[in-house]
């Protein structure tokens, strides 16, 4: 996990891919990560199907 200090609660959040991207990118920005890092996550997360989005998210931040 790249950024274990960034915790994102996805239970109870709309499972829509855009809702997940918004929740994670907002948490990363609130944690003070550089825009380049957030953009890198977004590009990688969107570079595949829904399962890839979830895998990228779980490999990047702490999901609970």
Give the integer Cα–Cα distance in Å for 45 and 43. 6
User: Domain ranges in the chain?
Assistant: 3-63
The predicted structure's pLDDT at residue 12? 84
pLDDT of 63 > 90? The answer is yes
Residues 6+ apart with CB under 8 A from 56: 41, 44, 45, 48
List pLDDT tens digits, range 38-53: 999 999 999 999 999 9
């Amino acid at each position: 996990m790249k950024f274990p200090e960034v915790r994102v609660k996805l239970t109870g959040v709309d499972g829509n891919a855009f809702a997940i991207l918004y929740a994670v990118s907002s948490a990363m920005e609130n944690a003070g990560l550089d825009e380049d890092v957030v953009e890198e996550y977004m590009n990688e997360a969107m570079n595949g199907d829904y399962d890839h989005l979830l895998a990228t998210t779980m490999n990047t931040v702490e999901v609970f």
